[in-house]
Structure 1
Amino acid sequence: MDEAVALLLIRSLFAGWTIVRDECGDWRATCCVVVSSGDIGGLLEALAAVDPDAARRAVSLLREC
């Protein structure tokens, strides 16, 4: 998946979070805590761990598609 498209998708699925790609190319998400990862899969795992409700909503929305 194109990184720009992935960023838009993740931002819409985790609407309460500010999600960016930093100057080093790492993925970073900020809400009540900051999580980061060198790849998108790691960021999604971290988001699911710290915000399981948002992860469940994201899975539910994706299943509807």
Structure 2
Amino acid sequence: MSTDEQTTLLVIMYRRLSDRRLTEIAANIAQGKQDYQSGNVFRGKVNDAIAKLNQRDRPW
């Protein structure tokens, strides 16, 4: 492959990877909105979150 062809290939691959990542980010945002609307989101201070996590049953 020539240098120009290699450059073109790299640009195509970069764009595909960027598009894939944007799709993943959009899916994460949609899931976050759904979780928020259904009340499955914790809101509070870090110390409150740690205390809540420490109250859970641990599998280990």
TM-based fold match above 0.5? no
The answer to which structure has the higher helix fraction is 2
Structure that is richer in strand per residue: 1
Q: Please, what TM-score do these two structures have when normalized by structure 1?
A: 0.25
Higher relative contact order (CA 8 A, sep 6+): 1
Q: Which has the larger radius of gyration?
A: 2
Relative to the length of structure 2, the TM-score reads: 0.27
